[in-house]
């Protein structure tokens, strides 16, 4: 009989060591042990979960620390051979025979540990929390452990899957860090690897949370799990194949952007016949947003030049900023109504983030594909979704009462 214990399986970021993961902070990086209890944001995940009554389990992926996986050639899976000879055997084995970690080994390791916690230790509730690359192992383990829950009608022991600041697939991350050529290069060099975290996340049959940092220095917002899920739900009819990859705009939009010609006309979608946007509509949105930003920027430069003729050294900022000086306002007053309206419109639109972390203005600067990522994220995770879910809960509670 199970004891009713609650547990958390924490999958380390960047294939790190469990000895280090003990001190991983809630936001990022390691924390100072002396800072515990002073600032809530400086608590480690270990402290956070234990304070809330959960046992927490940490482990090393195969290939890190003394966790090498082992087999009959390399001693045994349960025995670590010390000394120089044992170290050399592990190096040779892991380099030429059983290279770890790989995408498959990460998922297999997390699944094995999660299954051990459920079957041998015995818990009623298991949270699987994966951070960064650990999200790949966490999503794979949650998918494996909940695979039969829908078919059998039984509730799974996995009570929650948390993918914290992870990616949709490794190819998309490499493309943003190195270049677009790496997407296919990774597939050629590692044909047996499957790094499609978005697919495993969507396939897991349990409550799920995806956390995202739009300013992550390694995982670009377009390559994040949040964006991959948004693409799959809004644009690709559930397919996660190659989501998050760099996308080239259609030729007509590239030419219009280079030559400043008029954008192609597009019929607006009809509701509810068109419940999801198409790729053509998404690129049209991205092209319009980019054109609007370019026109507004040009109008602001013209206003700045007019200002510099009269009062040199005054910097032009926002039209509606109450802190702007009288000279800046005077320039705007002299500008035509069209330019003023254009600047006001873009000032407001460029700051919209749709509760998804990245403002539209920042996305437009990085390319049309990133603007599309912003659009799909707003449609899937935006404020209207939050409000809609809150309204459903309210109606449900009213019906019960």
Tell me if 212 sits within 8 A of 154, measured CB to CB.
no
Q: Which residues have C-beta within 8 Å of that of residue 43, sequence separation ≥ 6? A: 25, 26, 31, 36, 37, 51
SS3 4: coil
CA distance 156 to 146: 6
Which of the two residues, 31 and 250, has the higher pLDDT score? 250
DSSP state of 212: -
Q: Which residues have C-beta within 8 Å of that of residue 235, sequence separation ≥ 6? A: 276, 277, 278, 279, 282, 372, 376
So what's the pLDDT on residue 397? 85
Residues in the chain: 401
Lowest mean pLDDT among 245-254, 257-266, 309-318, 332-341: 309-318
Supply 19's token pair.
């000895």
> How large is the C-alpha radius of gyration of the chain?
26
SS3 86: helix
SS3 67: strand
Closest to 209 (Cα-Cα) out of 381, 68, 45, 354: 381
CA angle 184, 185, 186 (to 5 degrees): 90
Supply 306's token pair.
């007019």
Bridge pairing between strands 125-131 and 55-58: unpaired
So what's the pLDDT on residue 68? 56
Which of the two residues, 355 and 313, has the higher pLDDT score? 355
Tell me if 134 sits within 8 A of 166, measured CB to CB.
yes
Provide the angle, in degrees to the nearest 10, between the axes of the packed helices 251-259 and 279-310.
10
Place of tokens 């690129």: 283
So what's the pLDDT on residue 75? 44
Alpha helices in 266-382 (DSSP H): 279-310, 326-334, 337-349, 360-366, 368-381
Closest to 284 (Cα-Cα) out of 345, 349, 361, 372: 372
SS3 84: helix
For residue 78, CA distances in Å to 15, 107, 110 come to: 21, 19, 17
pLDDT tens across 107-137, in order? 999 999 999 999 888 888 999 999 999 999 9
pLDDT tier, 206 (very low <50, low <70, confident <90, very high otherwise): very high
Tell me if 121 sits within 8 A of 111, measured CB to CB.
no
Which of the two residues, 186 and 2, has the higher pLDDT score? 186
DSSP state of 191: T
CA distance 224 to 251: 27
* CA-based torsion, 263, 267, 270, 276: positive or negative: negative
Supply 280's token pair.
């053509």
Provide the angle, in degrees to the nearest 10, between the axes of the packed helices 279-310 and 337-349.
120
pLDDT tens across 376-385, in order? 999 999 888 8
pLDDT tens across 143-154, in order? 999 987 655 445
Residue 51: is it exposed, middle or buried by C-beta count within 10 angstroms (0-12/13-18/19+)? exposed
So what's the pLDDT on residue 165? 93
Supply 96's token pair.
């030429």
Question: What is the enclosing helix (H) or strand (E) of 125?
Answer: strand 125-131
Average pLDDT along the chain: 81
pTM: 0.79
pLDDT tier, 99 (very low <50, low <70, confident <90, very high otherwise): low
CA distance 133 to 63: 15
- Residue 225: CB atoms within 10 A of its CB come to 26
Tell me if 381 sits within 8 A of 355, measured CB to CB.
yes
Q: How far apart are the first and last CA of the chain?
A: 36
């Amino acid at each position: 009989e199970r004891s009713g214990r609650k547990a958390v399986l924490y999958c380390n970021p960047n294939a790190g060591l469990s000895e280090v993961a003990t001190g991983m902070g809630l936001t990022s990086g390691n924390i100072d042990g002396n800072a515990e209890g002073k600032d809530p944001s400086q608590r480690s995940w270990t402290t956070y979960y234990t304070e809330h009554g959960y046992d927490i389990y940490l482990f090393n992926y195969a290939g890190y620390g003394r966790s090498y996986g082992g087999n009959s050639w390399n001693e045994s899976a349960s025995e670590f051979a010390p000394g120089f000879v044992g170290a050399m055997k592990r190096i040779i084995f892991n380099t030429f025979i059983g290279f770890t970690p790989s995408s498959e080994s990460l998922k297999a390791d997390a699944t094995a540990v999660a299954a051990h916690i459920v079957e041998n230790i015995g818990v009623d509730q298991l949270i699987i929390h994966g951070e960064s690359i650990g999200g790949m192992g966490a999503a794979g383990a949650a998918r494996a452990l909940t695979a039969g829950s829908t078919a059998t009608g039984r509730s799974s022991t996995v009570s929650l899957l948390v993918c914290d600041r992870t990616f949709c697939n490794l190819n998309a991350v490499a493309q943003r860090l190195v270049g677009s050529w790496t997407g296919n290069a990774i597939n050629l060099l590692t044909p047996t690897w499957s790094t499609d975290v978005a697919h495993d996340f969507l396939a897991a049959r349990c409550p799920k949370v995806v956390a995202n940092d739009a300013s992550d220095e390694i995982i670009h917002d377009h390559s994040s799990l949040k964006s991959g899920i948004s693409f799959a739900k809004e644009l690709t009819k559930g397919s996660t194949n190659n989501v998050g990859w760099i996308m080239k705009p259609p030729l007509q939009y590239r030419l219009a952007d280079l030559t400043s010609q008029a954008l192609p006309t597009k019929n607006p979608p009809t509701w509810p016949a068109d419940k999801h946007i198409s790729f053509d509509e998404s690129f049209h949105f991205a092209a319009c947003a980019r054109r609007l930003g370019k026109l507004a920027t040009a109008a602001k430069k013209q206003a700045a030049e007019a200002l510099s003729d009269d009062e040199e050294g005054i910097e032009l900022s926002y039209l509606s900023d109450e802190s702007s000086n009288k000279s800046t306002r005077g320039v705007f007053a002299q500008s035509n109504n069209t330019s003023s309206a254009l600047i006001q419109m873009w000032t407001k639109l460029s700051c919209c983030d749709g509760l998804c972390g990245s403002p539209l203005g920042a996305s437009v600067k990085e390319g049309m594909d990133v603007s599309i990522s912003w659009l799909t994220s707003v449609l899937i995770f935006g404020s209207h979704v939050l409000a809609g879910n809150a309204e459903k809960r309210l109606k449900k509670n009213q019906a019960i009462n």
